[in-house]
Structure 1
Amino acid sequence: MEKLKFTFQIKPTVDGKSNFIAITSIATLDDKVYLVPEEYQAISLHKHIQATKTYVTLKSTLKKRYQTRNVWIKTTEEILKTYVDEAGNMIFQDQFLEEINQEQSPAVSKMTLEDPIVKILEKLVEDKQNEEKKSKKKLAERFVIEKFSGRNSRACQWMEVFEKECERFNIVKEEEKIEILRLFLDKTCIDWYSSMMIKFGLQSEWSEWKSSFLQTYTSKGWTDSKYALTFKYQTGSLVEYAVKKERLLLEIRKTMDEGTLIDIIAVGLPDFITDRINKEEIVHAKDLFNELGRLEHLVQKRRIIKRKEDSKPVREKCNICDKLNKGARYHPEDSCWFKPKLNTEKDKKQIKLINNSELECELQYEDQKN
């Protein structure tokens, strides 16, 4: 057999909360149709079909519940071994498939789609799903995690925290994880989510989303490490500096021992602070934080002293007195006693220069006449 025709349909799960893709029947080239038992219809049991390119296209085609597509799939050696035995019988999971008339198959699907009870159930399920979406938003508000923007934290650590939060609130279904992930993305990450929805859709595997997320946002250079290690105290609270540096260091190396962590935090502190801390007494990071909290007043005191120094008036030497050889005097030039005299001398010099230039011109003119 060169190819087989598979009937795919989106069906609800037992609890009716979500959907799954099912293979309901298989047809051969000679128009023989074989039903797949309900317990074997889930696409997760048909690994070789999932690996085909045709199935990838099919996933993006099927979107609504009970939507059906009949698709021909080219058979490989693995597919033939899975669905056809040596004698040419249609089998699956060591079970012979029931052959039906081709006329019966569409009738069944038509009845299913047009049944008013089914439509009522669909409406009820849809309403229930809308309620669940609202409850998911409320649930997401309880997540202890900040939105990921691609810059505020490392992708690996953020994803690890996100998965732990999902586990804490018993969110185990892959579809729910993908749906909730959108609520915790910010800025350009939302564009990434939209493109992933186009490529894979909501009914895809969480591992694909996780892998793509880490490949896209995991930093492959040394920038984060260099920034964390060289981050130093500049101004503000000492405790805030220490807490931020601890976070930066743990983001690049979660397994860093506490002693190394304390040493690197202390390196970024000013000398007048570290000189007042006894290293032998600092065993845990919290001990260092307590000491820094105790020494906050030194930073504030130094800041006040610096502000006073900056506010002191700067004494500048009077240039007028200096030029007139009156000695070093410190006062504004506008109020200098000798300012009028200096201006008078400047005017005289200018007059002399002008007179000399005029005489020079006249002499040159007379020489030309002679």
Structure 2
Amino acid sequence: MENKAKFYFVSEAGADTKSSVVKVKRIQLLAQEESFLFPADKQTSAHHKQLFENPIVKNVVKSLKVRNKFRNVVLTLSKELENIYRDTEGNVVLHDEYLEEVTEQESNVNSESAGTFKRKTSSLIKDIVIEKFNGESINATVWINLFVQECDRVGIAQNKYAEVLRLFLEKSALDWYNVFIMQNSLLNWEAWNNAFIDTFSAQSWTDITYAYNFKFYNGSLLEYALKKKRLLLEADDSLSINTQINMIVISLPNFIQNKIDRKSIINIENLMAKLKQLGKINE
């Protein structure tokens, strides 16, 4: 009998935070309802060489050029892949290691009435802490990642993300949603996530220029540093901690830089504490 499995691939920051790497997060046999999570340290191609050599997977990897994009891919398991991902009794494994079952209590949206959905989600979405996205002021990739994290945190199932998303959009982003929903299923979060990033990812150098050139003139040093850090990460969320520290400090006047001992600043928290200690600078 032909066995098929669904694999979940995602593009994430690499070990150096500047590069991106495609990982395989979990597996689900199509004959089963349960899905299983690969260990965090065994999700790269180095631990799934035969899988990543599959022609379909190679095309998936090529398509995941933007960080935080993902693909769910169904593959027919060859004899070689069967030996890697299933034991002799048909249980899901990675070689000889048994995997953790993903406990997602997701029910089909179509089986719920609109009223039931409203009652269930209204008590959850009020706990989501994220500003609305208008298509202009926030980095799209950073924002959608935060949105997913918040949905996960409060317990909203993935097949309801698209419905909840509408409540956190405004202006041109809401217009995009109303158009996109006409031809796309609310259940297919993969399509929504990827289309959102494709549509709203920065297409110019404006955000990066503003973030890098943002300087301190007067007022609270801590407030300046927090805003500078946010702008930098919205422009490029792969920036290392050292780069963030350097960019924050070099945008300060020289007389303030001279009050900061570089050797004592070993992390971003040290820098923030020092700037808070220095207080405010008035013109």
Structure 1-normalised TM-score? 0.44
* Contact 2:124/2:156 (<8 A) preserved: no
1:123-142 CA-partner distances (Å, limit 9, x unpaired): x964xx41431331231111
Counterpart CA distance in 2 for 1:159 and 1:284 is 27
Partners of 1:138 and 1:153 in 2: how far apart?
26
1-side partners of 2:261 and 2:112: how far apart?
66
**Deviation at 1:267?**
1.0
Structure 2 residue 166 is matched with structure 1 residue 155: no
Normalized per residue, which structure has more helix? 1
Q: 2-side partners of 1:168 and 1:125: how far apart?
A: 22
2:161 maps to which of 154, 171, 177: 177
Deviation at 1:221, TM superposition (A): 2.2
Q: State the AA in 1 paired with 2:269.
A: K
Higher relative contact order (CA 8 A, sep 6+): 2
Q: What is the aligned partner in structure 2 of residue 86 from structure 1?
A: none
- Provide the rounded CA distance (Å) in 2 between the counterparts of 1:253 and 1:166: 23
Which structure has the greater CA radius of gyration? 1
1:226-237 equivalence runs, <5 A? 226-237=209-220
Q: Which residue of 1 aligns with 2:198?
A: 215
Instruction: Kindly indicate whether the alpha-carbon contact (under 8 Å) linking 2:133 and 2:173 is maintained by their aligned counterparts in 1.
Output: yes
Residue aligning to 1:192:
176
Measure, in 2, the Cα distance between the counterparts of 1:254 and 1:248.
10
Superposed CA RMSD: 2.2
In structure 2, how many angstroms separate the alpha carbons of the residues matched to 1:147 and 1:283?
A: 34
- Taking a change above 3 Å as real, the CA distance of residues 180 and 283 of structure 1, as seen in their structure-2 partners, is same
User: Paired residue for 2:264?
Assistant: 281
| Alpha carbons 2:214, 2:251 under 8 Å: kept | yes
Structure 1 unmatched runs, 5+ = 1-39, 41-123, 304-370
Q: How far off is 1:262 after superposition?
A: 0.8
- In 2, Cα distance between equivalents of 1:198 and 1:244: 38
Distance, in Å, in 1 between the alignment partners of 2:219 and 2:134 is 26
Q: How big is the shift at 1:293? A: 1.5
Contact 2:222 2:275 in 1 (8 A): yes
Counterpart of 2:218, as a letter, is T
Distance between the aligned counterparts of 2:208 and 2:273, measured in 1? 26
SS at match of 1:179: helix
Alpha-carbon deviation of 1:209?
1.4
Deviations 1:226-279 (A, max 9, x none): 111111012321111100111111223323222221111011111221121111
Partner of 2:131: 146
Aligned residue in 2 for 1:21: none
Extract structure 1 runs of 4+ deviating beyond 6 A: none
Distance in 2, matches of 1:253 and 1:197, equals: 29
Quick one: structure 1 residues 278 and 168, their matched pair in 2 at CA, closer, same or farther if it must change by over 3 Å? same
CA displacement 1:170-208 (0-9 Å, x = unmatched) = 33342x111100111112211111111222253x52122
The number of aligned residues is: 174
Q: Distance in 2 between matches of 1:157 and 1:189?
A: 15
Q: TM-score, structure 2 length as denominator?
A: 0.57
Deviations 1:296-318 (A, max 9, x none): 25x13xx3xxxxxxxxxxxxxxx
**Residue aligned with 1:146, SS:** coil
| Match in the other structure for 1:340 | none
Percent of residue pairs identical: 36
Rounded to whole Å, the distance in 1 between the matches of 2:262 and 2:185 is: 55
Instruction: Evaluate the alpha carbon distance shift between residue 160 and residue 173 of structure 1 in structure 2; reply closer, same or farther with a 3 A threshold.
Output: closer
Residues 132 and 205 of structure 1: CA distance in aligned 2, closer, same or farther (over 3 Å): closer
Counterpart amino acid of 1:166?
C
1:198 aligns to what SS in structure 2?
A: coil
Instruction: Tell me the distance in 2 between the aligned counterparts of 1:257 and 1:269.
Output: 19
CA change 1:263–1:257 in 2 (3 A) is: same
CA distance in 1, matches of 2:127, 2:259: 42
- Per the alignment, in what secondary structure is the counterpart of residue 182 of structure 2? helix
Structure 2: state its 5+ residue gaps.
1-30, 32-110
In the alignment, the residues of structure 2 paired with residue 261 and residue 161 of structure 1 have an alpha-carbon distance, to the nearest angstrom, of: 20
